Each structure stands twice: as structure tokens, then as C-alpha cells.
Amino acid sequence: MLAEVDSREPAFEERENARHEFLIRAMNAATTASSAACLHVRHRARRLRPHRHCASLLASAFAAVASLALAQGSTVDEIAKYRDALAEGNPAELWEARGEALWKQPRGPKQVSFERCDLGLGAGVVHGAYAQLPRYFPDADRVQDLESRLVWCMVTQQGLNAADAVKTPFGDGSARRSELEALTAYVVAQSRGAKMNVPLDTPRIREMYALGEKMFYFRGGTHDFSCATCHSEEGKRIRLQDLPNLSTTAGAQKAYTTWPAYRVSQGELRTFEWRLNDCFRQQRFPELVYGSDTAIALTTYLAHNANGAEVQAPSIKR
């Protein structure tokens, strides 16, 4: 039997090599076609409105290429290469551009722009700001992440009602668009390449970090899940999606620095608060309140653990 198995190994390797080469060629072809189409869409999108046709092309390309592979491990590797190839034509650029326009536009009852909003490095300074968030803000007397800080500036500086400021935290990939997602995309993009640096330098942020760590391991809901159920071991995945081990520095660095991200399957840019909200939904937890201490605590825990890694967001994901 051993001799028989050995005699089949070269043929198996040849088939595997041929399959991998075919998969790579298919990905290259799909990348060329979908990226070219999306580039054409971007040139036409003068009103900076995300085009669902682009999302459909990318989603179809992902689905078609993924279906060609039989071995999950190799598929994940090749999809990662495909994602890298698509990054140059990332539709998140549309959200970044819209966010930049919103940042500079006088808004609200007070007709004030976000150029007066201090994200921690001074009023209006966005370069490198996201890489140092969350942090404690004395003017708010609270630890805030980027999204809760944007809401604070909307309310206190622009004069918006708090309920109105968070009325549409997430878009639907179609008619319902979120200003907060666009603003987040713009601000985060200004930290691309900067290294995460979230120090635990005040008692309040140390408290928030400790709360986030506790929440990460807290089990509850109808399924008795916690964040750690899916994200504290190596080698876990759901279908073809790897689940990063967020309990390690390397895992937190790899995962946290790639959010926000354009989700091809949804035709929408998703922020880190959305990611947490969706995780709570999947765990059957009560809905996570946008900008709540729970959301900020979990963000603080993961952001600090990602220290030293370069921000790669907004990225592109399945």
C-alpha cells in the first residue's frame, strides 16, 4: 500500500500545481476585468456616489474565483493575493472623497466645519490622528474612539441634535448613505502607513482597556458566546474566512489595522463600530449602542494590542 501511495504522489502534485496555476490565471483575469470596470465607474462618478455595479462586479469575481478552488487552505491564500491586487482600485476611495468634502463643509445650526474638531493632535489635524485613537479627551471628560469623537464634534461644535447625529451610522450599500462612514474613511485614510500608538497613559484609558479585555472574554447570549469564542485560537475559520486570533499581538495588529474596509459582498464601506455591531448580532447579544462605552472599550483593547503595526485602512474585504 505504501508503494501504491508513493506512486500516486507525483501525479497528485502535478494536479495541485496545475490547479494553482489555473486559479492564479483566473484571478488575474478577473482582477483585470473587474478593476478596469470599477476604474471606469470611478471616472464617471463625479458626484462621488458609490456605484453598485462596481460592487456587483467585484462580488461576482470573488465568488467565481473562490468556487474554482477545492482546498480551503490554498483558497484562502489565493483570495488574499486577489484582495491585494484589487486594493489599487478600492471603491473605498469614493467614501474617502465624500468624507473629505463633509470634513471641510460648514454644517449644522452653527455652520461650523470639522476643521475645528480636535481628534487629539490639534483642531483640524487629521494626519496620524487615527493611529492614536481611542484616547482620553479632557473636553469631553471621556475616552473616545474616532466615531464617537466625530459625533461629539457634530453635537458640541456644529450644534446637531445627538439623535440626529447618529441617525444613520451605517449605510445600506444603496440609497441610505452614512455621513459617519464617509468621515471615518477620510480620517482613517490620513493615517495610512502610520504606526498604531495608543498608550495607556491616563487612569481613564487604563480603565477602558480593562473593561474591553473583560468584554472580550465575557460569555453570554443564547449561544453562550464571547468574542474569544471565535477570536482566541489559531487556525479557526468560518467557511473560507480566516478568524484572526485577536488575543495575540500579531493577530490584533493584522485585523485592527485593516478596518474600516470596503465590503465587496455588501457594496458598502464598513467601519470598526459596524464590525463590532455585527459581531454582537452574530453572538445573539443585545444590539450594541453606537458610540457606547462598551464599543469604545472593545476598540481600546484591540487598538492598544495593535500598537506598532501600520494602518492599512481603508482596505477591501470579501
> 3-state DSSP: the chain helix, strand, coil percent, rounded to 5?
55, 10, 35
Indicate the helix (H) or strand (E) that contains 15: helix 2-44
Task: Return the pLDDT at 35.
Answer: 46
Q: Which residues share a beta bridge with 118?
A: 123
Tracing cell 464599543 back to the chain, one arrives at 295
Give me the pLDDT at residue 200, please.
97
Q: What pLDDT is recorded for position 13?
A: 46
**113's grid cell:** 466645519
Mean pLDDT of successive 10-residue stretches along the chain, which has 318 residues: 36 47 48 46 43 55 50 60 70 96 97 97 98 98 98 98 95 90 98 98 98 95 91 84 90 95 93 94 92 97 98 93
Contacts of 217 by beta carbon, 8 Å cutoff, 6+ apart:
226, 227, 228, 232
- Write down the catalytic residue from 38, 54, 230, 279: 279
Looking at residue 175, its pLDDT comes to: 81
The grid coordinates listed for 78 are 489565493
Neighbours of 121 (CB within 10 A): 14
Verify whether residue 279 is a known catalytic residue.
yes
